[in-house]
Amino acid sequence: MNSGQFLEQFPPDPRPNRVKEGKASGVKPLRTMTDAELVALTQEGDLSAFNQLASRWESSLYGFVRRTLGDAEDARDVCQEALVKAFTNITRLRDGGKFKSWIHYIALNLCRDRFRSPRSRVETLAYEEGGTGDLGPRVGVAAEAADRLAEMTQLSDVLQRVLAELPQEQRTSILLREYQDLTSDEIGEIMGVPAATVRTRIYYGLKTVRKILQERGIDRADFS
């Protein structure tokens, strides 16, 4: 997804008192601004400020959605839709400093909509299973035959498949913490639950992951 073309693909309606693009950059470069500052400018109509927000968080957003849905094309579509929704509803965001949590919240709801679709459910399961059969022995063979890079790539694939076996709420909590580096409080805001519930989900989710890895003969040290 090219963030630079985002607003060109989805031109908004003209707004009154709109700030000209690049106006703020004469005082302070957009790339050095905080999310709160960029959100404030976007709410005033500065399109370049929102493009900076999109550029800042698109990689994190795509990684989360890609791991959640299991399909690259669907992930791109969801990320694009999430950015559109964020832009069109930006005036509703009262605390601009929470933009990262907010955009992930929007994306999570879109992912949930996809999971409710029978077609998307089948496609996701097909990706997760992939006809690979029992992964444990195959990882063992690859570790002996391939170099460390290939080994780590395959181990990462195994981990993703193990995460896919978790209940959705546990998997989402783990992905948001381990891959997006969000706090329990931030994850709670995204998922609409207390931080304590998030920590419980992560605890039991990781406990299940460790158990599955042990059953398949994979040591956690292999991932270090």
CATH code: domain of residue 202: 1.10.10.10
Q: Please report the pLDDT score of residue 114 as a whole number.
A: 82
Query: Are residues 125 and 149 both part of a single domain?
Result: no
- Rounded CA-CA distance 97/53 in Å is 11
Do 123 and 176 lie in one domain? The reply is: no
Please state, in angstroms and rounded to a whole number, the distance separating the CA atoms of residues 194 and 79.
26
Alpha helices (H) in the chain, listed in sequence order: 6-9, 35-43, 47-69, 72-88, 99-116, 118-129, 135-145, 148-164, 168-178, 184-191, 195-215
37 and 106 share a domain?
A: yes
pLDDT in tens, 37-74: 999 999 999 999 999 999 999 998 999 998 888 888 89
Question: In terms of domains, do 120 and 139 share one?
Answer: no
Give which of 68, 55, 160 is closest to 105, Cα–Cα. Answer: 68
Residues 23 and 118 in one domain: yes
Query: Does 156 share its domain with 192?
Result: yes
Please spell the DSSP secondary structure of 27-81, one letter per residue: TS-GGGS-HHHHHHHHHTT-HHHHHHHHHHHHHHHHHHHHHHH--HHHHHHHHHH
Query: How many structural domains are present in the chain?
Result: 2
CB of 170 within 8 A of CB of 202? yes
Which domain covers residue 76, as residue numbers? 1-130
pLDDT at 155: 52
Does residue 103 share a domain with residue 6? yes
121 plus 136 within the same structural domain? no
Whole-angstrom Cα distance, residue 129 to residue 144?
24
What CA–CA distances, in Å, run from 82 to 123, 188, 202, 219? Answer: 21, 19, 25, 37
**Cβ pair 205, 191 in contact under 8 A:** no
Cα-to-chain-centroid distance, residue 158: 19
Which residue stretches of the chain have pLDDT < 70? 1-27, 116-156, 219-224
Half-sphere exposure of 209 (CA within 13 A, CB side): 22
